[in-house]
Chains A and B, each alone.
Chain A
Amino acid sequence: MTGTEPTAASRSDDETVEEVGETVGRVIENVGEVIVGHREVVEHILTAMLGRGHILLEDVPGVGKTMLSRAIAASFDCSFKRVQFTPDLLPSDVTGASVYNQETGAFEFRPGPIFANVVLGDEINRAPPKTQSALLEAMEEQQVTVDGQTHAVPQPFTVIATQNTVERDRTYDLPMAELDRFMKKLELGYPEEKEESEMLERVVGRHPIEAVEPVATLSDLEAAREVTANVTVEKPVREYVTRLARYTREHAELGASPRASLLLLRAAQGRAVLEGREYVIPDDVQTEAEVVYPHRLRTRLDETPTGELFEETIDAVPLE
């Protein structure tokens, strides 16, 4: 699964933003055929993928988190693995382990579920910190280390972790330092009444997820990431992002980190590509900041929700 880089690199040269935008649009349409509603969330996941970020989905069970992830993975024709995090899950259950091969008489590495293009870590907060960190290391380093040997994860590599907000018992909340590694935290929310009935109508009987056909290749995604990285970010936008970060630092106990600013800009680049634009505008930044910022902020004395602080930041920081 790792042999697609050369073609991706060669294709990125002649791919334009418009073409990438179209490809992404096709994927969104495709996902929309199986997942009713949640278009914004789908867009956010795709821009995160374009900007090489990982996603934290937080919501009550049963709103379709897994289904959504699977649909996106299937649309790209890329490998998809799901790990259900439980309190007794070991790090090697995630990363894989060295196993003695009787035929060759040597240890060989058996890759765990993390070796896939899209990894869904379900209920990540139920696993102990050690297991969590195995996943988080792979997210940050794009590699796993087992028995002193490092193994690169396949590219492109995207982790979508979910968190259950209902059962807080026997869970291990992710510390701020680890939350910071997720580019975005998204909430699905319940579908609207019309959407829900439409969903039921589609799903009753045979679930359409089985019928999802890929509309883009892995190399398409690889090329799209390349194009995204080249999207222009002019000085006014960079300065705006800096001002936003500084504002949160001045007004919250814990503000946006420099990594947050970097991830925000990458997400904004993805947003620009999604809209077929070769440059980032403040609108992109604002749209992305809404999901990039709140999970990184901690307000003073926890008196106001981070969402409110975010709104305040957007309203108060001058655009130019």
Chain B
Amino acid sequence: MTGTERDRVTGEGRGETGRDRVTVSTPLRVLALGAALLVIGSFLGVLHHVVDVVSDPRTFLTIVVLTFVGATVLARYLTDRLAFVLAALLLVGGLGWYLAGLSGTALQLVGHVRYTIALLTGQSVLAIVNLESWVLAVTPPPVFLAWYLAVRRRYVASAVVGGATTLFFVLTGDAGAELTLLGVVGVVALVGVGELDRLEGSIGDADVVATVLALTILTSATVTLVPTGMGYTFSPDTGLEKSGFGGSGTSDTVEANLLDAGSELPVLGSLELSSAVRYRVQSDESEYWRVGAYDLYTGDGWIRQGETGTLDRRLGTPAGRARVLEQTYRPLTSIRTMPAAWRPSNVTGTAASTARATSLGGLQPTRALTPNETYTVKSAIPVVTRSELQSSGRDYPASIEDRYLQLPDSTPERVGERTGRLTANADNPYETARVIENWLEENREYSLNVSRPSGDVADAFLFEMERGYCTYYATTMAVMLRSQGIPARMVVGYGPGQRVSEDEWVVRGHDAHAWVEVYFPDIGWVRFDPTPTGPRESIRQTDLESARENDAPNVDTNDSQRGEWTSTPGGVDGVTPIQGTNQFNTSSIRRGQIPVNATITPIGQTSRGSGESDDDRTETERVGIPTAEEATLGLLALLGLAGMARRTGLSRRAYRAVWLRWQPRVDPETDVERAFERLSVLLARRHRERRTGETVRAYLDAINASGLARRVAAIRERARYSGTISEAEADEAVEIVDKLTRT
């Protein structure tokens, strides 16, 4: 070693305390850093998914890689204190940059605090406005700090930083069960292995950590670590209240998973709708009583981004011509939605004071409406003709394109390809929308009894599923439209319901519905409904009949039992509601049980019979390649089990047991030697082990071995020391030992 080299080495040693040396690499160190990667990976997985939903994740990945490199390099030079300061600066700077990119109205301190609390109680980060910037702003600090600390051997601190970040996403509900578990496992491994590394333990001691991990993973396989549904949610508008999810039996619920007041709309599996009456609506026209729209498609559901605002700021009129329709809603149960025909421009009545408007222009109460708490909405209904729609072109405003053409990066290419083929002959967005609408109506069967597909919902409905309900139809149509560059959004609400008098409708739970709105320049949002009306009506009617037979509560009001005044407007043609009278006569349905028997398969039978086979099919489809998270967890569990087996000596014993009982045949010499080894194990168990310098003969004499054992020993002695062995002798030896093993 030259003088300068020595100087450099000692200089390094002096620069940092011995414990914090960065340069030493041991297996435990590698394991600890691997665990740190697991922790960081768990929240990066969430962020990646989020970015993937809204845009191309390449920028995000670049930033992550740069952060890792930066943290590794800076770990050599930066003191802990400076690193914390740097991380804080990164966070503040990032958030400042993000907020600066928002419109001024979003900068309200109280609002942000409320919003943050909402995030921490289950509000998905996907609802954050300008999501990509937010992710890019918040990603570097925790990644930098956690990795920096891990490299500096501050494993516990690293686990705290990484674990807290993961915890945040667990609280927002964005971290799935697997990612959460990975994070937990990573934290445990990081603390355990890190401590071993710090105490300069041996790699053999790590099997304790592995054992703990395996137990964690296996236990969580039976007991879910992550609460799947929050009992309570905190909404920025309503404060803390009981979640609507999973409470479909209670009276104040909205239509379970089909229609929710919140900003998230997951697409779920089989659905049962209540026949209870929700509202009585007074209106001059039959309309779709619209509850809310969603703009962000996540692949497995929809999210409405942004916070709610006051009515005066958010309500307005369509861009094109419109006429006013006044509707008065009287909720008959306590309910948290405020339906209104598109587009609401004015709300009056007792409930008006609680109303706020979503960023998409829908109404949302800040508290549940009480029964008979009426409100009146004046809506500006767009008036438009077919030719206007056909000629409106594709000159979309940038704000519309930014928001309503979004598709997750993971959306399969084939969705766009098939849509492109289907709509090859369409000349304009309107025709494209009509083609998609008709195609879905004609090629998919309506059923409430479906299994939630894995992966992208639209892709599954387009390529794998044969039936579904309105959420599937609407989701798929919106995604198909977006794949063709046509702005579209998901809308939920209620169908017109049962008309009980000339200007009055009774709306029940099973009128809950989902459809699509498509944007046309200079006209605004226009409704399209890809769900086949006939089957939906049939199911609605059968439900209602059976609910009446069972005397279910709240099924009817005084006048609703008399029968249909007239029927709902058909949603078949997405444009016709504007004209108001595309009738679909369902009065015969009530009397004669499903008049459309000839054209539409009877629901009662198909949804049962084929519904089951449908379930089976989707079940088998679901068994596919495990995801990276599942694979990692599985691998960790296996490693842990191996560590556990090693620690308990189980693996050795199991191996011994098999080894002793099962002898594969190779060649006579090997066979005899192996037979003798087995014999030695047997004799060692029954008597004692042969000592190091003790010859076989002396040993057999000492333990007074049986003739059979001596025979095997003799055969082995000949084989080993005379170099001659016959097949028959080998067979004999193995046979004898087999026999001895069994006795």
Contacts and interface: CB of A to CB of B under 8 A. Distances in A.
Contacts of B720: 234, 236
Contacts of B695: 281-283, 286, 319
Given A281-B717, A283-B697, A283-B698, A315 B692 contact: yes
Nearest to A283: B695
Task: Identify the interface centre among B693, B696, B697, B718: most chain A CB within 10 Å of its CB.
Answer: B693
A313 B692 CA distance: 10
Nearest to A315: B693
Contacts of B627: none
Nearest to A313: B693
Contact of B723 (A232, A314, A317): A232
Contact of A315 (B691, B696, B722, B723): B691
A256 to B, nearest CB: 15
A232 B692 contact: no
A22 interface: no
A316 B694 CA distance: 9
Given A283-B697, A283-B698, A236 B692 contact: no
Instruction: Among A237, A281, A316, find the residue whose CB has the most chain B CB atoms closer than 10 A.
Output: A281
Contacts, number: 44
Interface in B711-741: 717-718, 720-723
Contacts of B696: 282, 319
A62 interface: no
A285 to B, nearest CB: 9
B670 to A, nearest CB: 14
A283 B695 CA distance: 6
A279 B720 CA distance: 10
Contact of B693 (A236, A279, A317): A317
A318 interface: yes
Contacts of B698: 283
A282 B720 CA distance: 11
A319 B692 contact: yes
A282 to B, nearest CB: 5
A314 B694 CA distance: 8
Interface in A275-316: 278-283, 286, 313-316
Contacts of B697: 281, 283
Contacts of A313: 693
Contacts of A286: 693, 695
A316 B693 CA distance: 6
Given A281-B717, A283-B698, A232 B722 contact: yes
Interface residues of B, number: 14
Contact of B721 (A236, A315, A316): A236
A314 B695 CA distance: 10
B692 A281 contact: no
Interface string A184-211: 0000000000000000000000000000
A218 B718 CA distance: 31
A315 B693 CA distance: 4
A254 B113 CA distance: 87
A35 B176 CA distance: 94
A278 B721 CA distance: 9
A202 B25 CA distance: 83
Nearest to A231: B722
Nearest to B719: A234
A319 B723 contact: no
A69 B696 CA distance: 34
A234 B721 contact: yes
Contacts of A319: 692-696
Contacts of A232: 721-723
Most buried by B among A237, A280, A283: A283
A281 B699 CA distance: 14
Contact of A318 (B693, B718, B721, B723): B693
Interface string A102-141: 0000000000000000000000000000000000000000
A226 B723 CA distance: 20
Contact of A317 (B692, B717, B718): B692
A315 B721 CA distance: 21
Contact of B692 (A234, A237, A279, A318): A318
A278 B693 contact: no
Nearest to A282: B695
A281 B721 CA distance: 6
A237 B721 contact: yes
A269 to B, nearest CB: 12
A237 B721 CA distance: 7
A278 B693 CA distance: 23
Contact of A316 (B692, B717, B718): B692
A144 to B, nearest CB: 39
A318 B693 CA distance: 5
A286 B720 CA distance: 17
B171 to A, nearest CB: 62
B569 to A, nearest CB: 94
A279 B694 CA distance: 19
Nearest to B722: A279
B693 A234 contact: no
Interface in B672-722: 691-698, 717-718, 720-722
Which of A278, A282, A315, A318 is packed against the most chain B CB atoms within 10 Å?
Answer: A282
A281 B697 CA distance: 10
A317 B693 CA distance: 6
Contacts of A281: 695, 697, 717, 721
A317 to B, nearest CB: 6
B668 to A, nearest CB: 15
A318 B677 CA distance: 15
B693 A280 contact: no
A283 B694 CA distance: 9
Q: Max chain B CB contacts within 10 Å: which of A232, A236, A278, A279?
A: A279
Contacts of A282: 695-696, 721
Contacts of B723: 232, 234, 279
A278 B723 CA distance: 11
A279 B691 contact: no
A232 B717 CA distance: 13
Contacts of A315: 691-693
A73 to B, nearest CB: 32
B673 to A, nearest CB: 10
A260 to B, nearest CB: 18
A8 B171 CA distance: 99
B526 to A, nearest CB: 90
Nearest to A285: B695
Contacts of A279: 718, 721-723
B681 to A, nearest CB: 15
A318 B718 CA distance: 19
A237 B520 CA distance: 96
Contacts of B694: 319
Nearest to B697: A283
Nearest to B717: A281
B367 to A, nearest CB: 85
A286 B696 CA distance: 12
A189 to B, nearest CB: 23
A283 B717 CA distance: 11
B692 to A, nearest CB: 5
Interface string B47-78: 00000000000000000000000000000000
A278 B722 contact: yes
Interface in A59-89: none
Nearest to A320: B720
A166 B697 CA distance: 38
The 8 nearest A-B residue pairs measured at CB: A279-B722, A315-B693, A283-B695, A314-B693, A279-B721, A282-B695, A281-B721, A234-B721
9 contacts: A232-B723, A280-B721, A281-B697, A281-B717, A283-B697, A313-B693, A316-B693, A319-B692, A319-B694
Interface of A: 232, 234, 236-237, 278-283, 286, 313-319
Given A280-B721, A282-B696, 20 more contacts: A234-B720, A234-B722, A236-B721, A278-B722, A279-B721, A281-B695, A281-B721, A282-B721, A283-B697, A286-B693, A313-B693, A315-B691, A315-B692, A316-B693, A317-B692, A318-B692, A318-B693, A319-B692, A319-B693, A319-B694
